[in-house]
Every structure is written in structure tokens, then in C-alpha cells.
Amino acid sequence: MGRLRPSSGEIRFSGRRIDGRPTNEIVRMGIGIVPEGRRVFYELTVLENLEAAAEAQASPASIAMRETRSGAGSIVGNHAAAHSRIEQVLALFPVLAERRNQPAGTLSGGEQQMLAIARALVASPQLICMDEPSMGLAPIMVDRVMEAIREINRSGTAVLLVEQNAQAALSVADRAYILRDGRIVASGTSDEMLADGRLASAYLL
């Protein structure tokens, strides 16, 4: 995210232009990213993956303060707040809480996908963008991941989901857009999409 510039127009989030900004700056503006392929740190534990995410989303100034004033009360407070947020995120994913000290590389594909989502949530984003979260997962794990997405949205976080599994996506989406060759060919609520036989047969089945 942030690597390609739009061919025309602007990209804005909460009234601020974000196209052309580096990824870390976009994340600090309140956008979480769950990339295709999960991209968790396999050698790190579940907890260490989440701690790394908390560190990465901290501002450069706070990182510098930690380096120069480690042990100061305000810095301890920052760490305490980060760990409190990590525990909140783990509460959404009981299976990850149970495996917090387990290397990410030993998790199943579905559990790694949950970890990728949890990692993005550590920064308390206003919007979380997910790219193909069901890719390569067994049907039962797809259901669990979609339920996690549903719960994230219920908690007040907006979700932008790019997903080829149309049935799974429509099970959690309020509104959907169908893209073909980079252009929107249909849009509507999930119920409208499913009720349109032409769309369903052409794109959704």
C-alpha cells in the first residue's frame, strides 16, 4: 500500500490525502493492512509477532524516546498500553491466545491468517484492508476467518475486503462491488447481489 500512484484523481482517508505516502505513515493514519499470503514472521511466536506490530506502528519519536529513556515512566506506560491492546486483540482470537508462545510457522494456514489480521488490529485502525483472507484455507477455517471479520466490524472497525470467494465475502459484507478488468461492473447490497440471478450466475457461483 502506498507504492503505486493513481493514474488519475486522489485517494483520501478521513479528509486527508494518502496517495504517495509511505506505507508506515498510512498505517499511522488509521488504516490496517492484511496482505495476501499472510506474511507472518514464522520464527517468532504469536506474541512476538503482535509485539513487532505494536513497535512498527509507534511513531519515530516514541521509538527514539524508548532508545534514550528506557525505563522512564512514560515509556513504561507506552509498553503497558501496547500490551493491553495486544490482550484485547487476542481476546478476539481465543486460538491465538492459547498459542501465544508458539512459533507462527507451526500454526495452521487458518491460524496464520488470524494472526495476520490480529497483527493489523494491534494499531487500533479505523479501517482495515484485507486481501484474499480466505485464499488456500479449508472451508471450516474460511468460516472462522469470516466470523472474525464480522466481529471486527461489529466492534466499530470498517473493513474493506478484496475476496474471490464471493459467497464468503457476501456473508459478511454490507455492500459489494464486482470488478472485471479493473472496472466496477456491478454494485449493491449483499442481499441485492444474491437476489440478482444474472449476477449470481455470471460472477457469484
Is there a domain that residue 142 lies in? yes
Is there a domain that residue 185 lies in? no
**46 band by pLDDT with thresholds 50, 70 and 90:** very high
**158 band by pLDDT with thresholds 50, 70 and 90:** very high
Q: How far apart are CA 69 and CA 18, in angstroms?
A: 32
Q: How far apart are CA 103 and CA 150, in angstroms?
A: 27
Please state the rounded mean pLDDT for residues 69-83: 57
Q: How many CB atoms lie within 10 A of CB 146?
A: 22
> What three-state secondary structure class fits 120?
helix
Is there a domain that residue 84 lies in? yes
Is there a domain that residue 190 lies in? no
Is there a domain that residue 111 lies in? yes
Instruction: Name the residue range of residue 30's domain.
Output: 12-173
Is there a domain that residue 182 lies in? no
Is there a domain that residue 1 lies in? no
Q: How far apart are CA 191 and CA 199, in angstroms?
A: 12
Which three three-digit cell numbers place residue 57?
506502528
Which three three-digit cell numbers place residue 86?
495486544
**Structural domains of the chain, count:** 1
Is there a domain that residue 179 lies in? no
**pLDDT (0 to 100) of residue 76:** 41
**pLDDT (0 to 100) of residue 2:** 63
Instruction: Looking at mean pLDDT, say which of 3-7, 113-117, 138-142 comes out highest.
Output: 113-117
Convert the pLDDT of each residue in 93-122 to its tens digit. 999 999 999 999 999 998 999 999 999 999
Residues whose CB is less than 8 angstroms from the CB of residue 129 and which lie 6 or more positions away in sequence, other chains included: 1, 31, 32, 33, 34, 160, 162
Q: Can you give the CATH number for the domain in which 120 is found?
A: 3.40.50.300
Specify the DSSP class assigned to residue 126: S
Backbone angles phi, psi at 181, to 5 degrees: 55, 40
